[in-house]
Every structure is written in C-alpha cells, then in structure tokens.
Chains A and B, each alone.
Chain A
C-alpha cells in the first residue's frame, strides 16, 4: 500500500531537548516537505528537499534541521533553539518540485507538545 507514514503520532518533549520526527514514503517521489500547523491556521513550510542529499529552507526554518540521506526518508529535528515548538507537524511528498508533477500528498502528522 503506497503512502506516507509519520511517527510518532504524539510526542512530548521537555524544554531544552532535541527531538526527531520521522517521515517515510514509498511513492518513489523525489521531493519531500515539512510543514508546521498551529491551531486555527494554515500550514507553513519549514524545509523541503528536491532530491537526495539536498534540502532548502522554507519560511520558518529557524530552530529546525533536516537530512535527506535516502530517497524515501526525510527526518525533521526540532532543536532546543526552536522557541515555540508545540504544534502539529505534517510531512508531504510530490513526484518532483518543478512546475509539473508537483501535486503534494500528506502524511497523518505528528503532534508535538513541549512540557
């Protein structure tokens, strides 16, 4: 069954800790994305990757880091430098990031709460 999986579904973190959110896709998509959603708002782009070993900052990259060592995996680390990390995090992928084939599909999300 093709799709995007995210884990964990819920994550609790103490202040000052780094945490890593997992995102895996088996759609053979080149491009992957991380978004953040705050209550009552739309999604904002954190980072995206067009291809393995390449990634670009989005609108709100400060306090986050990513890696793209494999095509199917795009983990997001929320560092202690992120001032307000409590949010819903969504991962997405698309066939590519150009003007064609860029329809994005989303995983089920991870809810991060900082205690």
Chain B
C-alpha cells in the first residue's frame, strides 16, 4: 500500500501565528482528506481535496497530485486549533484510506 508522511510531527505556535503542515505520499492517490482530531478523539473532516486548492475560513488546503503532496495552511491560529491534524490518502486499487502519523499542534495564548 501507499505510505503517507506528515511533517512536522510537533508544532508549537503563539496565538495569531500562521502555519503550514505538509503531507507527502509515496504513490498516486485518488483522493486526499485532512482531519482535525480534537482532545476527545473525534475526527473532524476539514478537507476532501484530490487536487487543487480549497478554503474554509482561516484554513486552506492545496494538493498537487502530480508531485504527491498536500499542504494545510492555518492562518491567525487560535487556541481551539490545538489538537492533532491527520492527512489520509485514498488508494483506488486498495480501496482504503491510509493515514499519516499526524502533526500535534499546540497553540499558546
């Protein structure tokens, strides 16, 4: 199956700062999802983004499928943005979503 690598593994920001999280995948993926896992463990869907750029409020994501990476941008971070961010790539041949190990984001007040 595919391998999904996320960087950085940990990120500490001051409230109001901007950040970029990266996701690299080892092979072609049909689709890519970004999630935020809150402190209670719930996975919140952020983006479903096989290619191109999408924006949702202070968050935006870009996937460059031909170069096998995706980026998640968080602008003007808030303490409520803290948690773990996962990307996951869907392989059509395997019919499954493969997750990266996540980026632990801590936003300090």
Where the two chains meet, the residues of A that have a C-beta atom closer than 8 Å to any C-beta of B are 33, 37, 40-45, 48, 50, 56, 58-59, 88, 90, 97-99, 102-106, 108-109, 111
In whole Å, how far is A37's beta carbon from the nearest beta carbon of chain B?
8
Complex-state Cα separation, A84 to B23, whole angstroms: 29
Where the two chains meet, the residues of B that have a C-beta atom closer than 8 Å to any C-beta of A are 1, 4, 30-31, 33, 35, 40-43, 45, 48, 86, 88, 90, 92, 95-102
Q: Which residues of B contact A106 (CB under 8 A)?
A: 35, 42-43, 45
In whole Å, how far is A18's beta carbon from the nearest beta carbon of chain B?
23
A108 touches B40 (CB 8 A): yes
Take A45-B96, A45-B97, A48-B95 as given contacts and tell me if A88 and B41 are in contact as well, using a CB distance cutoff of 8 Å. Answer: yes
Q: For the A-B complex with A43-B86, A45-B97 known, give 19 more contacts whose Cβ atoms are closer than 8 Å.
A: A33-B96, A40-B101, A41-B101, A42-B4, A42-B100, A42-B101, A50-B95, A59-B1, A88-B41, A97-B95, A102-B90, A103-B45, A103-B48, A104-B33, A105-B45, A106-B42, A108-B41, A108-B42, A111-B41
Complex-state Cα separation, A53 to B90, whole angstroms: 23
Take A103-B45, A105-B45, A108-B40 as given contacts and tell me if A42 and B102 are in contact as well, using a CB distance cutoff of 8 Å. Answer: yes
Complex-state Cα separation, A59 to B1, whole angstroms: 9
Q: Which residues of B contact A58 (CB under 8 A)?
A: 96
Nearest A residue to B35 via CB reads A106
Q: Which of B31, B98, B99 contacts A102 (CB 8 A)?
A: B31
Take A43-B86, A50-B95, A108-B41 as given contacts and tell me if A103 and B31 are in contact as well, using a CB distance cutoff of 8 Å. Answer: yes
